[in-house]
Structure 1
Amino acid sequence: MVKNDLTKFSTPVFPFTAIVGQEEMKLALQLNVIDPKIGGVMIMGDRGTGKSTTIRAIADLLPEIEVVKDDPFNSHKSDLDLMSNEVKIAIQSEEVIETEKIKIPMVDLPLGATEDRVCGTIDIEKALTEGVKAFEPGLLAKANRGILYVDEVNLLDDHLVDILLDSAASGWNTVEREGISIRHPARFVLVGSGNPEEGELRPQLLDRFGMHAEIRTVKDPTLRVKVVEERTSFDRSPNVWLENYASQQQELRDRIVAAQELLPNVELNYDLRVKISEVCSELDVDGLRGDIVTNRAAKAYAAYDGRTEVTVEDISKIITLCLRHRLRKDPLESIDSGNKVEKVFKAVFEIED
């Protein structure tokens, strides 16, 4: 009897290009994929608005990456910042490095996850008796060079959110136990989602997410019917759907890859940088993270559009996403919908309604 190879079976993922509406969330995800240093995205909105579907869809859309074979950290074969110590040692010893292509890792962080599950654990007994660093990698290792998705991030323990944000910002995860320390690459796009009714994140944590997208339930009955029909049709015959959207998916995939390659050449002139900082200052944004993220996102948007020069139009498209969650000083305040950011942006950039 021939056994089925279960690795060849995969659950079909709803195509990213088939998702109706939710433009803010889709744009924020695409820009973070083009430049992961933007710092991730926090998606807040009603239940059942397709947050998880959209995040899985962007991971599925992205091209495969080349990783070192059998390496638990998805190490890159030549980039030191994306490489584990074992791979570095193997390269220095001039060993032959085998590689393979894998889909971009998409890691879900369960709500009840412990610190050990997230960061990984060191087997102290093995380390002491056998003299080896016995490290059991956690979710941060699996997420390296991929996307880490935390649903209901506002219900997650603050200490864990801190760890995630630290790793996302530095690109490294350090585990220390009983004087033994292990460090490995953990460069990923952090995507958090939640429902504002269940409580907001503290302003200090919220500020560390690069972007904040808001999504609302579609109110138009015709559009609602369209969304329901498309989802039902996809569930009934996913392969037909995937075929129908194959060319659009490939087109967007090529556009994202081209933007990633173009990004280092994109320029943002000095006058525009001054005006971005003026907007942040007028809005009384604490620290400089808002300025940095807005600059990065504007460049990513220009690259996405296939240009090497950032325009005022590019900044107008992303500035609300980058700044609206940085205005809260009081944890009991609600997040600005974007009107305040837009108003100040128009005043500083002298744009008339």
Structure 2
Amino acid sequence: MKSKATLKQIAKELGVSVSTVSKALNGSLEISEPTKQRVQEYAKLKNYKPNVIGLNLKNRSTKTIGVIIPDILNSFFAKVFTGIEKVADDRGYKLITCISNESYQKEINALEMLSNGTIDGFILAIADETQKLHQFNHFKEVLNEGIPIVMFDRISDEINCDKVIVDDFESAINATNHLIERGCRKIALLSAIDNLSVGKLRAEGFYKAIKNHGHQVDENLVILTNTNEEFNDKIGGFFIKNKPDGVFALDEHASVTAMKLGIQNGYKVPNDLQIIGFADGLWSRRMTPSMSTVSQHAPEIGEVAASLLIDRLENKEEKTLIITRVIKTELRKRDSTKKV
């Protein structure tokens, strides 16, 4: 027996959209007769059969949301999920969760698996590898099929969907200002997430704050890498060679590593070295001394993302206005920065 083709396979082979294939097979007047005939003949050749179950599900609400998270071991994403789950449960929706493990292909697989009538919409953060490759067509294909997406934290401006973000740029300015106001003059910028959209925004905020105070960034004090491993390779000997008196770290790995190495190299925190990290995981609070951090209010991000998606699903006549919600961060001052 010949294997059955899918709408997506037919669309790819013919170089048209899934929407065009679907409309052509249903005899839509929106599609020209030559295109309609071409699609119908090809579908017959490829033994295409409509997915009746999928069609039925498409025509009614499944009350199920697909959630795609890049890294379940990351406390930030785990906290976002608790916010999503809370709102979904309150409003009578179920969740199907997939982990992309920062993989572009796994992200595509999850979208394809769930978009065939299984779910009503997606909530997701873009995988690390996807942002590196700058490949976002799989999101556009899902949106073209009429399935809404809400992106959070890691987003792409190329995708026309609702988004929930934090004020990464402004919060980086505020954190850097705090270090300067506490007397820091040689502030290091450390990052293991430079390939991510959020990492770039935070770095831009740091540069802006230094410039606002009439100074130039000392590039010897800047380490911007894409992975934890690359960061670990570059940070060795950094404190002995450059002698910073402040650190603004853009992710938890960089901040925790900086704290440990600073102490190992004889720095007294916060007297000799003040540190602010971005993200507010358990490590930051449990270290000695405890670390001052920029808190992203992760559960609130999840709650807002779920509310945006469900509102869009339940108010289908209001589909034109794309919404971006910005969640304000909070600088939590602990023992790694000086008191006033």
- TM-score tier, shorter chain, comes to under 0.3
- Rg larger in structure: 2
Choose between structure 1 and 2 for higher RCO, CA contacts under 8 A separated by at least 6 residues: 1
TM-score calculated relative to the size of structure 1: 0.27
Normalized per residue, the structure richer in helix is 1
TM-score calculated relative to the size of structure 2: 0.28
